[in-house]
Amino acid sequence: MESRPVTVKDKAILEDRAKDKAVLRRSLFRSDATQKILAFASLIVMFVVFSLASPNFAKFNNIIGILLATAVNGVLAVGVTFVIITGGIDLSVGTVMTFASVMTGVFITFWKLPIIIGVLGGVAAGALCGFINGSITAKMKIPPFIATLGMMMIAKGLSLVISGTRPIYFIDTPVFSKIAMGSVLGIPNAVLVFFGAAIIASLILTKTVLGRYTFALGSNEEAARLSGINVDAWKIAIYTLGGIFSGLAGVMMASRLNSAQPALGQGYELEAIAAVVIGGTSLSGGEGTILGTVIGAFIMSVLTNGLRILSIPQEWQTVVIGVIVIAAVYADIIRRRGQ
């Protein structure tokens, strides 16, 4: 290496490199990563604490129970993550899930269609609801909060009307319940479906055009529009994708209960949104990860499970989760203020 005097330009370059490194360091410890690490650390801490507090907690069956309990809420949360990253919200995921399970019941039990058609039909019913949500938001310019609030009620009402307010049982098709409750190597299918869905969602979010535009819309919708992106079409696509995940959750729910329960569903949307928020996705849009959401969903079910094992009444479990949600968002605000 030849040596030469350090010029002003070299210095500038060196300074810049140092700055780049600082930026890198900052983005590791500051942005999405902090919240995720924080969330993951809390999950570990909870796990350890509950394991020490009760010998029953860390048992294989209980762990499987936790995984199973996370599956449905997890799939819903993964779907709503996309919508929240665009800066929107989807309040209808809970009842759309119910609507999807009722439709699955209609297809399989009432119309005697093959199970595969019933499953795909249920997912399609969810997709349709998402498509309508997206269209109302994008084309009619109705804020997503209102649009999906409307859809929440519509889906709830339709589920009751279609089912005649009675559960639809899958008595003729015992195989149907295997979708969620069958297992591979001791791990229930529902859990595998959840992990599969999360991995696919994560790939969509980080590797595809749809994912890129999800972030773009949440970061600066006007800039996206001015860059020639068909904002309305992509928004509809993203809400539809959210609907697909709700539909999938609906099928899993129906399979797990071996029935479509039309009165179920309301309240699930808030648990899903809570999981997303705990996982570090910003409600103001532009940032978020599927991994964060998955961790968020686990935190909620570990907490519920752990508190139950410690015989803390269910009412108090809800209180604790509420506190956790607020704490998670507050941690996020503190982090932002530090910038």
Partner 1 sequence: MGEVLVLMEGIEKTFPGVHALSQCQFELRAGEVHALVGENGAGKSTLVKVLTGVYTKDAGRIFYKGKEVEIPNPRVAQELGISIIHQELNLMPHLTVAQNIFIGREPRRGIRFLLNEKEINQKTKQLLDMIHLDLDPRTKVADLTVAKQQMVEIAKALSYNSEVLIMDEPTSALSDAETQELFRIIRQLRDKGVGIIYISHRLEELKQISDRVTVMRDGRYIDTVRTQDVTIDKIISMMVGREIYETSRANPENASQEVVLEVKNLNRGRVIKNVSFNLKRGEILGFAGLMGAGRTEVARAIFGADPIDSGEIYVKGKKVDIKSPRDAVKCGIGYLSEDRKRYGLMLGMDVETNIVLATIEKFLGFLGWVNKARVRAEAQSHVDELRIKTPGLQQKVKYLSGGNQQKVVIGKWLARDCEILIFDEPTRGIDVGAKSEIYKLLNDLAESGKSIIMISSELPEILRMSHRIAVMCEGRITGELSASEATQERIMQYATMRENRENDARYSSVSVPDATALGG
Q: Is 188 in a helix, a strand, or coil?
A: strand
Binding partner 1 by CB under 8 A: which of 53, 187, 223, 319?
223
- Is 142 a residue that touches partner 1 (CB under 8 A)? no
Minimum CB distance to partner 1, residue 240 (Å)? 15
Binding partner 1 by CB under 8 A: which of 207, 323, 333, 336?
207
Query: Which residues inside 63-102 make contact with partner 1, applying CB under 8 A?
Result: none
| Nearest CA-CA partner of 57 in 314, 339, 309, 323 | 309
- Is 219 a residue that touches partner 1 (CB under 8 A)? yes
- Cβ-based neighbours of 192, under 8 Å, separated by 6 or more: 184
Torsion angle of C-alpha atoms 204, 209, 212, 216, degrees rounded to 10: -140
Interface map 229-268 toward partner 1 (x if CB under 8 A): xx--------------------------------------
Minimum CB distance to partner 1, residue 208 (Å)? 5
Beta carbons within 10 angstroms of residue 31's beta carbon: 16
| Nearest CA-CA partner of 241 in 279, 281, 213, 283 | 213
Minimum CB distance to partner 1, residue 196 (Å)? 18
- Is 37 a residue that touches partner 1 (CB under 8 A)? no
Q: At what angle do helices 209-226 and 231-257 cross, to 10 degrees?
A: 150
Which listed range, 118-126, 142-150, 222-230, 244-252, lies at the site for partner 1 (CB under 8 A)?
A: 222-230
- Is 9 a residue that touches partner 1 (CB under 8 A)? yes
Minimum CB distance to partner 1, residue 87 (Å)? 11
Q: How far is CA 5 from the centre of its chain?
A: 56
CB 74, CB 194: distance < 8 Å: yes
Runs of H (alpha helix) within 30-141: 32-53, 60-85, 93-105, 115-139
| Nearest CA-CA partner of 66 in 84, 46, 83 | 46
- Give the binding-site size for partner 1 (rule: CB under 8 A): 35
- Is 339 a residue that touches partner 1 (CB under 8 A)? yes
Minimum CB distance to partner 1, residue 269 (Å)? 25
Binding partner 1 by CB under 8 A: which of 54, 115, 183, 212?
212
- Is 283 a residue that touches partner 1 (CB under 8 A)? no
Distance separating alpha carbons of residues 254 and 269, to the nearest angstrom: 17
- Is 11 a residue that touches partner 1 (CB under 8 A)? yes
Distance separating alpha carbons of residues 31 and 229, to the nearest angstrom: 26
CA terminus-to-terminus distance, the chain: 40
- Is 177 a residue that touches partner 1 (CB under 8 A)? no
Beta carbons within 10 angstroms of residue 189's beta carbon: 20
- Is 25 a residue that touches partner 1 (CB under 8 A)? no
- Is 23 a residue that touches partner 1 (CB under 8 A)? yes
Structure tokens at 11: 């210095």
- Is 335 a residue that touches partner 1 (CB under 8 A)? no
Beta carbons within 10 angstroms of residue 145's beta carbon: 13
Name the DSSP letter for residue 323.
H
Nearer to partner 1, 23 or 161 (CB): 23
Binding partner 1 by CB under 8 A: which of 112, 143, 161, 208?
208
Nearer to partner 1, 30 or 308 (CB): 30
Which listed range, 12-20, 96-104, 159-167, 267-275, lies at the site for partner 1 (CB under 8 A)?
A: 12-20
CB 321, CB 274: distance < 8 Å: yes
Minimum CB distance to partner 1, residue 252 (Å)? 26
- The residues of the shown chain that bind partner 1, judged by CB under 8 A, are 8-9, 11-13, 15-16, 20, 23, 26-27, 31, 207-212, 215-216, 218-220, 222-230, 286-287, 339
